[in-house]
């Protein structure tokens, strides 16, 4: 096994030790039966609930620090843990229990003329390094999916959620121990130096897959510096295009939900594109609706002229940077376009290949959009907020991949697996 090197030998020793422990636990977890894994998940759920008071108290420390630091309310919302949210985590672990265990699936059988029989079989990935920011629910989702798939997981959350993650992982590890499963299958890097991320993503031989989940800066750092395989996730500059043949009431419902229902997450809409044929009447209407929710509009010149004519003045004119920004808050870029083709060109220029939606009653226009737009998820007449592992029926999700190799879109159990070939013979040798 490799050793890690850094200027801070203590940090390197901490990370190396946790990775070796996870590697040993991964070998043990790979042999667990479906019933053993489900028992472990249930024990984890029980411990989360039994320790909810301690978890909320730890989270209160993180939230108080975030307020002192002047974090926005949308970012604080991502951080907060309440008893209700812990109950949702518990339910999420139980939903994962109910999912079919994919381990051991026979993906392909090859029978050779020489009598060899080759089975392609689904197997655990091994050791997952999960690197994420302020949302402590990711801690539980990642741990649950890792256990269900027979993997070990090393968690490195953001400093803003450190107390919360320590409390959550303590409960989860206790649950594993109570079920007779190696608690080392869940590790937390409780050091906040940025170098700890580099140590994880450069740990060839100890980490089988790194999954960064957070803002553009984190994901860029991981993808540029990693020596281990990485799945790029999460940055969601998502668009809704309202076509000239859209149902206006449907469009208003979808746009309101996509922007307002939970603006701090990656599948929230960040840019609204509107066909010029309906812009004069529909843009003032949706602007008034969004205004009631406190949404700040940053509008193109054409949209600005329409709104000024309707008596809405003083709006900020959108810049190139605005159209390229994942706001993660109550800010929305708006552009009027002449055609669906122009909308798709705009998405190709500014999108992040996460989720893109069209609202239209024209089936031909919709199908052209769905087949042309290059994104992990494309949507017709529904909110971008449905890009989610739970909504897809995957149970908890490990993240949403915006790349094309290995995994794309919401990642559940199957995306945390690999495969191997098992050859069975009767003494054949190669001539």
pLDDT tens digits, 362-391: 999 999 999 999 999 999 999 999 999 889
User: Quick one: pLDDT at residue 356?
Assistant: 98
Judged against a pLDDT cut of 90, whether residue 134 lies above it is answered with: no
Q: What is the mean pLDDT of residues 99-106?
A: 94
Say which CATH superfamily domain 9-234+399-423 falls into: Aldehyde Dehydrogenase; Chain A, domain 1 (3.40.605.10)
Least confident piece of the model among 92-106, 146-160, 192-206, 399-413: 399-413
Can you give the pLDDT at residue 233?
A: 82
Mean pLDDT of the chain: 94
CA 236/CA 266 separation, integer angstroms:
5
Tell the residue number behind the tokens 């295009």, with chain if given. 241
Query: What does DSSP say about strands 152-156 and 186-188: parallel, antiparallel, or unpaired?
Result: parallel
Q: What are phi and psi of 242, to 5 degrees?
A: -100, 110
Q: In what order do the strands lie in the sheet with 296-299?
A: 316-317, 296-299, 331-337, 269-275, 238-242, 355-359, 377-380
The pLDDT assigned to 271 comes to 98
Per this entry, what is the length of the chain? 431
Give the pLDDT of residue 8. Answer: 57
Mean pLDDT of 397-414: 88
Q: Is 71 buried (19+), middle (13-18) or exposed (0-12) by CB count in 10 A?
A: middle
Question: What is the mean predicted confidence (pLDDT) over 211-237?
Answer: 89
pLDDT surpassing 70 at residue 270: yes
pLDDT value for 2: 41
Lowest mean pLDDT among 261-265, 268-272, 331-335: 261-265
The two beta strands, 296-299 and 331-337, are: parallel
Distance of CA 124 to the CA centre of its chain: 20
Q: Which of 256, 263, 267, 223 is nearest to 376 (CA)?
A: 267
Strand bridging mode 117-124 / 106-111: antiparallel
Residue 39: pLDDT over 60 = yes
Report pLDDT for 390. Answer: 81
Region 7-16: what's the mean pLDDT? Answer: 83
Q: Answer whether residue 234 shows pLDDT above 80.
A: no
CA distance 282 to 296: 17
- Among 204, 103, 32, residue whose Cα is nearest residue 419: 103
Lookup: tokens for 396: 């908890």
- pTM (two decimals): 0.84
Report the candidate in 238, 248, 257, 244 with the shortest Cα–Cα distance to residue 333: 238
Q: Which two tokens stand for residue 377?
A: 């998820």
Average pLDDT over residues 28-36: 97
Q: Kindly list the domain boundaries of the chain, sorted by start residue.
A: 9-234+399-423, 238-386
Q: Is residue 79 predicted with pLDDT exceeding 50?
A: yes
- CATH class of the domain comprising 238-386: alpha beta
The pLDDT assigned to 307 comes to: 97
Residue 273 pairs in a beta bridge with: 241, 335
Contact 274, 334 (CB under 8 A): yes
pLDDT given at position 77: 87
Say yes or no to pLDDT of 32 above 90: yes
Residue 265: predicted pLDDT: 87
pLDDT of residue 9: 66
User: What's the confidence (pLDDT) of residue 5?
Assistant: 43
Nearest to 226 by CA among 244, 204, 243: 204
């Amino acid at each position: 096994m490799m050793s890690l090197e850094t200027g801070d030998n203590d940090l390197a020793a901490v990370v190396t030790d946790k990775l070796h422990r996870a590697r040993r636990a991964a070998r043990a977890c790979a042999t667990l039966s479906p019933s053993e894994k489900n028992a472990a998940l249930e024990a984890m759920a029980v411990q989360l609930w039994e320790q909810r008071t301690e978890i909320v108290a730890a989270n209160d420390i993180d939230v108080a620090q975030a307020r002192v630091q002047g974090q926005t309310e949308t970012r604080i919302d991502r951080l907060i843990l309440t008893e209700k949210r812990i109950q949702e985590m518990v339910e999420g672990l139980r939903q994962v229990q109910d999912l079919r265990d994919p381990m051991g699936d026979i993906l392909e059988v090859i029978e050779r003329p020489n009598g060899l029989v080759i089975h392609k079989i689904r197997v655990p990935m091994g050791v997952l390094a999960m690197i994420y920011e302020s949302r402590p629910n990711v801690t539980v989702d990642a741990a649950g999916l890792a256990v269900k798939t027979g993997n070990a997981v090393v968690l490195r959350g953001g400093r803003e959620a450190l107390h919360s993650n320590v409390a959550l992982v303590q409960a989860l590890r206790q649950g594993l121990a109570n079920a007779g499963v190696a608690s080392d299958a869940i590790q937390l890097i409780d050091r906040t130096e940025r170098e700890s991320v580099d140590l994880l993503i450069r740990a060839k031989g100890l980490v089988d897959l790194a999954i960064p989940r957070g803002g553009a800066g984190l994901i860029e750092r991981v993808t540029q510096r990693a020596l281990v395989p990485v799945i790029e996730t999460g940055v969601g500059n998502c668009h809704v295009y309202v076509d000239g043949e859209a149902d206006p009431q449907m469009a208003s419902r979808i746009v309101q939900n996509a922007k307002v229902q939970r603006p701090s997450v990656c599948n929230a809409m960040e840019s609204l594109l509107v066909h010029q044929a309906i812009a004069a009447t529909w843009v003032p209407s949706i602007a008034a609706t969004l205004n009631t929710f406190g949404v700040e509009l940053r509008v193109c010149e054409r949209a600005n002229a329409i709104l000024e004519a309707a008596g809405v003045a003083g709006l900020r004119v959108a810049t190139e940077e605005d159209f390229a920004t994942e706001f993660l808050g109550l800010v929305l870029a708006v552009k009027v376009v002449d055609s669906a083709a122009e909308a798709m060109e705009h998405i190709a220029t500014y999108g992040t290949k996460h989720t893109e939606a069209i609202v239209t009653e024209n089936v031909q226009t919709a199908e052209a959009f769905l087949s042309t737009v290059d994104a992990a998820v494309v949507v017709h007449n529904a909110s971008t907020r449905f890009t989610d592992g739970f909504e897809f029926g995957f149970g908890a999700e490990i993240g949403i991949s915006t790349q094309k190799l290995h995994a794309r879109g919401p990642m559940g159990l199957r995306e945390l697996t690999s495969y191997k070939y098992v050859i069975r013979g009767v003494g054949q040798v190669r001539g």
